[in-house]
Amino acid sequence: MTVQRYFLFCLKLLFRQRREVALPLFFFLIIASLFPLVFPAKLLATLAAPALWITTLLAILLSLNNLFREDVEDEFVLQLLTSPTPLSLLVAVKLLAHWLAYILPLFIALPLMGLWYNLPTESLSVLALSLLLGTPTLLILGALAAALSAGLKQGGTLLMLITLPLAMPILLFALSMVDMSASGLSYAAAGDFLFAMAVVSVSIGPYVIASALRISME
Amino acid sequence: MPETYLSVKNLTHAYGRSALFSGLTFDVTPGTILQVTGKNGSGKTTLLKLLSGIKMPQEGSIEWTEEDCAYLGHKNAIKTELSPLENLALYQPDTSACALALEDLGLEKLHHHRPCYRLSAGQQRRVALSRVILSNAKVWLLDEPFTALDDTAKAHLIRHLTRHANGGGSAVVATHERLDLEKSLLRELVMA
């Protein structure tokens, strides 16, 4: 099992599971579309970033529910554990495929949401940048919780309970980026923080998740 | 070729306070098939998981001279949305070698491109066994490999085990079935 072959394998599998893969995107579109219907138009510009960020966070959590569960149930994870390729590399590849299949489509849906929320292009760009910087960390945090809860019956609930508090700093810094941009201030500090978090989590996350998976299978 | 692929010394494993097995000592040598037998719950699956490195030994040691082993557990570890060939492509990029391995275990060509969820349990088990055969690993660790297999497929697997052992490989097979192998190839470990 090589890294390249496993990456292609993950993409092919996600393509075959496209109905399940599309669910978080539909969840995002439906929930994000509800806010403009129930809130007054004058509030929408202020509400757009928090609403879209929270919906994205929930859509990512929804997608993570099955990240490792199926692999544990069909014992595919044992093939990963016994592979000569380091488990952390295989985990990194799986997460990259997951980001491409589940999170990238959210970015494609973002211009549509911009129109729906009547967001200026500048605000939409900063929102997209904050998502680009924040989602890798969210994915790593969620994947860690998914690895720890993969063998448990109530794993989905536990996943939410572990990930949501850990995701708060990401959410706050991302929203402060959009706020500062809207006020005409520099959002570089918040952006740098999110970037640093992404670099740290992407660098060490796969090792930690691999260890969590090993512990889950013990 | 090394004298032993795998050397187990004083291996002990317990769940809580009840010891599953203790002081287990044996070698896995080239050209032999080690059959692990014993009643349900005697620790056969745990032993295979320890040998494969999935579980860590609590006491004792497991020394490998080979880097690579192929593991087949109770479940097939295949993705049922993918076809047999797509599943095997993860381990072996040569499609014709994969097709040959599947045919060798009696899975006809017309099933090679079907999603595995359309195959029977026995056919899915053959896909998983093909993965082991394609692995080129010197040591095969097989946990109840005959599950869901018909007599023809069982005979195919026995033939593969014989060929593997004659080629200098070895296998640890946990099974309740009688392994119909040459006596010179077969060794037995009974878990109490």
CATH code: domain of residue B16:
3.40.50.300
Q: Quick check: B146 pLDDT over 90?
A: no
- pLDDT tens for residues A198-218? 999 999 999 999 998 888 877
- Of B121, B136, B151, the last residue of a domain is B136
The reply to whether A78 touches chain B by the CB within 8 Å rule is yes
- pLDDT tens for residues B91-102? 888 888 888 888
Calculate mean pLDDT across residues B62-76: 84
Q: Are residues B127 and B91 in the same domain?
A: yes
Nearest-CA residue of chain B relative to A14? B81
Q: Does the predicted model carry a pTM greater than 0.90? A: no
Q: Are residues B57 and B26 in the same domain?
A: yes
The reply to whether B53 touches chain A by the CB within 8 Å rule is yes
Overall domain count for chain B: 2
- Of B112, B136, B160, the last residue of a domain is B136
Judge: A76–B78 Cβ closer than 8 Å, yes or no: yes
Q: Are residues B161 and B148 in the same domain?
A: yes
- pLDDT tens for residues A106-126? 988 888 888 888 888 888 899
Angle at which helix A87-98 crosses helix A121-149, to 10 degrees, equals 140
Instruction: Please check whether residue A101 is in contact with residue A28, taking contact to mean a CB–CB distance below 8 angstroms.
Output: no
Nearest-CA residue of chain B relative to A75? B77
Residue numbers of the domain that contains B91: 75-136
For the ranges A118-122, A140-144, B28-32, B145-149, the one whose mean pLDDT is highest: A140-144
Residues ≥6 apart with Cβ < 8 Å to B4: B27, B28, B29, B30, B65
Judge: A218–B56 Cβ closer than 8 Å, yes or no: yes
The conformation of residue A198, written as its DSSP 8-state character, comes to H
> Which residues of B fall within a CB distance of 8 Å from A81?
52-54
Q: What is the CA radius of gyration of chain B?
A: 17
The reply to whether A215 touches chain B by the CB within 8 Å rule is no
B-interface mutation test, from A79, A81, A83, most B Cβ less than 10 A away: A79
Burial B37-58 (b: 16+ CB within 10 A, else e): bbeeebbbbbbbbbbbbbbebe
What's the confidence (pLDDT) of residue B63? Answer: 85
CA distance B76 to chain A (A): 7
What's the confidence (pLDDT) of residue A14? Answer: 92
Judge: B82–A16 Cβ closer than 8 Å, yes or no: yes
- How far apart (Å, rounded) are the C-alpha atoms in residues A28 and B131? 39
The reply to whether A5 touches chain B by the CB within 8 Å rule is yes
Q: Are residues B88 and B115 in the same domain?
A: yes
Nearest to A84 among B67, B89, B115 (CB): B67
For the record, the structure tokens of A194 come out as 């999110």
